[in-house]
């Protein structure tokens, strides 16, 4: 009985019969337990791995994890030249000597597309369709702009290859590629020395035989292959080919990045001492017993956030990087929706203002994905959260154009060199403007870990204005910068709300990101949004969203069936069963465990229409379609033939992380305790950057309780609050500035705000 009780106590730190660990044993009983262990040949139990969510932004890399029931965070300066460097810097500062599980939101795919720095890609397609990716849909973003420059395709003409083959729309192979044609094709492609190959043949979604023959012939070149029927088995050859080309364009870059991250994480593991020795100490005997066998840390496991709002294995992300192009912003939407639900808001606009860009998204209840989107002017057909991005962030650079008009962004100072006030920048940014207006408090930035250099900002900005020949005062210039960047972000919010028939007065604005709270109230005022929500972890909410995200796999298949008054239920169930079988195989191969949840949906349209509506698969599918068509477009055609176009399946496994909605301690504990942070790492010096960073905050010289802040051209005495000191439920009035480790919130005059029971800051605008 003593041995069993000892084992229970060791594992669970208590025993129902013996109470605390040291109270249930006499010294003799303890010695007996050590001399005759219940499991003499068993190794000490390995501690549970620490799940760390990491979001790499343009200026900061944010980390969030749960440590002994407390939510903790860390911000380090990003290293744009090699994002994995800042990730390893962050991991090295986390005081954990066990195993790591890294959940990663990355901007590598997005930046590679924006900067056009992807792999040299070849495209293999059906003869006669080599120029489909250049012809596109003949849609002009600016209809009357004669000088508009179209987006150049990622694959130049000399790297596009056509082959004689043809598959019919019903899947019949009309022409199979001959061995001679395949041999000639391989020779031509090899001569161009591509780094990656995209294969997209007509009607491959109906029959993949010709694509498989093509892939089998090209695998001798030993370069990554992106095959359309494996990634996007859907119709619309332009969108499908564009998606496969983007995947091939990103694949070598993403593969190198993830392999480098994995290698660096492994090197960090090897540097850490083996501190897994199991020590058994008992005050009753004054003797320490140690198991001399140390457990070596395991290699960190890495998972990647997808654009669809779910995480996937590193191998899947490396194989299909097109699914990660909105990786970081997707985590923000998940985190914003979860935080808003805890405060009772279901219809929101997620407003994420970081260092480089601003991402906005409309959420009405459940988070939904779009099956088609555009990134950098290129169509992508894989599921993505509906996120609209503009080049406006805290690091956005201010400039005067040739006509002397003030412009802000989309160029950004990023993390290198960063804003002027960080110590290296030489051109004014939005962050510098907020500092000059008094909205950022120099010694309260990042919880006081750094002091922003106000005098340097004033001096360099004044000299910069003189060189521009502009007579504006510093205050007027800073106010102008804020107004211009606010106009850009207001337009983005209008795109996802008013332009889609949503009244902003019925929504709440969830503001996060390092700079979101600085501008949210002004934007809400301009758009008549009644409430602003500043979540409990604003500057790292994207990382928090990644932490609580589920494992997600998306599947689709175009069928193009006619449903004249009746849905072919049996055939649909058979097709969905095949997709579920594939999902189960993929999840098993990646080692995911737990119950798999399936969401089945169908794209429908009236015969003759060019686009579809996606609806959940139910027995009343046709009636649901007519109802939704009437709601969306104001009319429906009762009795008109309906087409079932594409089947979609989402397979998800609940994350074993602690979900925000279930973290009851966050409702009960004081805000200070569970918003603990571990500090901010100094900027990592890049090869071309001077190793000079922001100066340390001086202890003993905190910001005053009040400061002079410029609002609408008037300087007002403004109360300065630390968010940790706000009393839950108490109503406060503006003007006010709320400072915390990860962000700063500005409350204009005559606005009321309070901290609700779940630690979210609620600002009443109207």
Residue carrying the six token digits 């009795």:
639
Cα gap 682→730, rounded to integer Å: 36
CB 359 within 8 A of CB 388: yes
Verdict on whether the full-model pTM lies above 0.85: no
Exposure pattern of 515-554 as b/e (b: 16+ CB <10 Å)? bbbbbbbbbbebbebebbbbbbbbbbbbbbbbbbbbbbbb
Contacts of 103 (CB under 8 A, 6+ apart): 51, 52, 53, 54, 303, 304, 305, 311, 546, 547, 549, 657
Quote the pLDDT of residue 13. 40
Query: Does an H or E element contain 552, and which?
Result: strand 551-563
More confident residue, 268 or 470: 470
CB 210 within 8 A of CB 165: yes
Q: What is the torsion angle, in degrees rounded to the nearest 10, for the CA atoms of residue 755, residue 761, residue 762 and residue 764?
A: 100
% of the chain beyond a pLDDT of 70: 83
Cα gap 699→421, rounded to integer Å: 19
pLDDT digits (tens, 9 = 90+) for 530-543: 999 999 889 889 99
Q: Is the confidence at residue 702, as pLDDT, over 70? A: no
For the residues 204-213, what does the mean pLDDT come to?
A: 96
pLDDT digits (tens, 9 = 90+) for 89-132: 888 888 777 778 899 998 888 888 878 899 999 999 999 999 99
For the residues 454-459, what does the mean pLDDT come to?
A: 94
Contacts of 633 (CB under 8 A, 6+ apart): none
More confident residue, 75 or 558: 558
Quote the pLDDT of residue 523. 97
Q: What band does 668 get if pLDDT is binned at 50, 70 and 90? A: very low
CB 159 within 8 A of CB 122: yes
Q: What band does 369 get if pLDDT is binned at 50, 70 and 90? A: confident
End-to-end CA distance of the chain: 66
CB 624 within 8 A of CB 568: no
In whole angstroms, how far apart are CA 599 and each of 518, 596, 611? 39, 10, 21
Q: What band does 297 get if pLDDT is binned at 50, 70 and 90? A: low
CB 352 within 8 A of CB 336: yes
For the residues 494-518, what does the mean pLDDT come to?
A: 92
Q: Is the confidence at residue 182, as pLDDT, over 90? A: yes
Residue 458's region, left for phi above 0, alpha for psi from -120 to 50, else beta, is alpha
Determine the 3-state secondary structure of 254 from DSSP: helix
Query: Does an H or E element contain 4, and which?
Result: helix 2-12
- What is the token pair recorded at 189? 């492609």
pLDDT digits (tens, 9 = 90+) for 9-51: 443 343 433 333 333 333 343 333 334 444 444 444 555 678 8
What is the overall mean pLDDT for the chain? 83
Quote the pLDDT of residue 243. 96
Cα gap 220→576, rounded to integer Å: 35
Q: Is the confidence at residue 273, as pLDDT, over 60? A: no
Quote the pLDDT of residue 373. 85
The Cβ of residue 116 has, within 10 Å, a number of other Cβ atoms equal to 10
Q: Does the CA dihedral 714-715-721-723 come out positive or negative?
A: positive
Concatenate the DSSP letters of all residues of 96-116 into one string: --S-EEEEEE--HHHHHHHHT
Quote the pLDDT of residue 299. 66
Q: What band does 704 get if pLDDT is binned at 50, 70 and 90? A: low
Quote the pLDDT of residue 239. 95
CB 345 within 8 A of CB 533: yes
pLDDT digits (tens, 9 = 90+) for 610-631: 889 999 999 999 999 999 999 8
Say if residue 280 is exposed, middle or buried (CB neighbours under 10 Å; 0-12, 13-18, 19+): middle
Quote the pLDDT of residue 463. 95
Q: Is the confidence at residue 636, as pLDDT, over 70? A: yes
Quote the pLDDT of residue 438. 93
pLDDT digits (tens, 9 = 90+) for 745-766: 999 999 999 999 999 999 999 7
Q: Is the confidence at residue 355, as pLDDT, over 60? A: yes
Least confident among 12-16, 247-251, 488-492: 12-16
Q: How far is CA 724 from the centre of its chain?
A: 27
Contacts of 5 (CB under 8 A, 6+ apart): 15, 17, 18, 24, 25
Cα gap 638→623, rounded to integer Å: 9
Q: How many CA atoms lie within 13 A of 17 on its CB side?
A: 7
């Amino acid at each position: 009985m003593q041995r069993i009780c000892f084992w229970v106590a060791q594992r669970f730190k208590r025993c129902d019969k013996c109470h605390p660990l040291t109270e249930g044993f006499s010294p003799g009983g303890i010695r007996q337990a050590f001399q005759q262990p219940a499991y003499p040949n068993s190794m000490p139990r390995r501690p549970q791995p620490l799940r760390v969510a990491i979001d790499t932004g343009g200026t900061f890399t944010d980390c969030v994890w749960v440590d002994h029931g407390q939510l903790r965070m860390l911000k380090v300066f990003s290293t744009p030249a090699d994002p994995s460097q800042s990730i390893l810097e962050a991991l090295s500062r986390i005081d954990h000597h066990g195993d790591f599980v890294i959940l990663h939101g990355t901007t590598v795919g997005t930046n590679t597309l924006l900067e056009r720095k992807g792999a040299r890609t070849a495209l293999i397609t059906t003869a006669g369709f080599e120029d489909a990716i250049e012809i596109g849909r003949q849609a002009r973003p600016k209809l009357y702009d004669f000088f508009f420059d179209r987006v150049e395709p990622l694959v130049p003409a000399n790297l596009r290859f056509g082959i004689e083959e043809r598959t019919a729309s019903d899947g019949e192979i009309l022409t199979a590629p001959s061995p001679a044609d395949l041999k000639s094709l391989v020779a031509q492609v090899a001569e161009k020395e591509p780094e990656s190959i995209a294969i997209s043949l007509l009607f491959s979604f109906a029959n993949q035989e010709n694509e498989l023959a093509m892939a089998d012939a090209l695998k001798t070149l030993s370069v990554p292959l992106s095959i359309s029927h494996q990634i996007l088995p859907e119709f619309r050859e332009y969108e499908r080919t564009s998606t496969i080309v983007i995947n091939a364009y990103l694949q070598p870059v993403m593969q190198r990045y993830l392999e480098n991250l994995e290698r660096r994480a492994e090197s960090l593991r090897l540097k850490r001492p083996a501190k897994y020795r199991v020590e058994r100490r008992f005050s009753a005997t004054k003797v320490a017993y140690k198991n001399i066998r140390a457990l070596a840390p395991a290699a960190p496991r890495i998972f990647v956030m997808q654009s669809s709002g779910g995480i996937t294995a590193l191998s899947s992300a490396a194989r299909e990087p097109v699914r990660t192009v909105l990786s970081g912003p997707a985590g923000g939407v998940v985190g914003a929706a979860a935080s808003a639900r805890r405060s009772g808001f279901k219809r929101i606009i997620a407003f994420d203002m970081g260092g480089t860009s601003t991402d906005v998204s409309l959420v009405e209840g459940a988070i939904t994905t779009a099956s088609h989107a555009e990134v950098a002017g290129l169509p992508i057909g894989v599921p993505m959260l509906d996120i609209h991005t503009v080049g406006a962030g805290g690091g956005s650079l201010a400039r005067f154009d040739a006509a002397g008009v003030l412009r802000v962004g989309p160029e950004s100072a990023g993390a290198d060199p960063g804003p002027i006030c960080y110590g290296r920048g030489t051109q004014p940014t939005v962050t510098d403007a907020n500092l000059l207006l008094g909205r950022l408090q120099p010694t309260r930035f990042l919880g006081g870990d750094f002091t922003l250099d106000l005098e340097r900002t004033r001096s360099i900005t004044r000299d910069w204005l003189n060189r521009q020949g502009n007579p504006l005062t510093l205050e007027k210039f800073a106010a102008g910068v804020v107004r211009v960047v606010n106009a850009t972000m207001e337009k983005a919010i209008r795109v996802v709300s008013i332009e889609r028939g949503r009244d902003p007065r019925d929504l709440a604005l969830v503001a996060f990101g390092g700079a979101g709270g600085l501008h949210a109230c002004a934007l809400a005022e301009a758009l008549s949004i009644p409430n602003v929500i500043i979540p409990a972890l604003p500057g790292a909410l994207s990382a928090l969203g990644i932490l609580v995200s589920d494992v997600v796999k998306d599947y689709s298949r175009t069928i193009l069936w006619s449903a004249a008054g009746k849905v072919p239920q049996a055939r649909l169930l058979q097709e969905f069963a095949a997709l579920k079988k594939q999902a189960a195989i993929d999840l098993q191969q990646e080692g995911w465990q737990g119950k798999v949840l399936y969401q089945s949906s169908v794209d429908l349209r009236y015969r003759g229409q060019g686009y579809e509506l996606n609806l959940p698969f139910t027995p009343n599918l046709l009636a649901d379609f007519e109802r939704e068509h009437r709601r969306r477009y104001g009319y429906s055609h009762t009795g008109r033939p309906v087409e079932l176009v594409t089947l979609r399946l989402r397979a998800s496994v609940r994350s074993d992380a602690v979900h925000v909605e279930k973290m009851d301690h966050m409702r009960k504990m004081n805000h200070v305790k569970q918003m603990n942070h571990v500090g901010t790492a100094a900027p990592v010096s890049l090869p071309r950057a001077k190793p000079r960073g922001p100066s340390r905050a001086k202890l003993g010289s905190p910001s005053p309780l009040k400061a002079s802040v410029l609002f609408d051209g008037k300087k007002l005495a403004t109360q300065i609050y630390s968010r940790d000191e706000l009393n839950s439920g108490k109503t406060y009035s503006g003007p006010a500035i709320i400072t915390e480790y990860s962000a700063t919130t500005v409350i204009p005059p005559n606005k009321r705000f309070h901290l609700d029971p779940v630690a979210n800051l609620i600002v009443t605008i109207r």
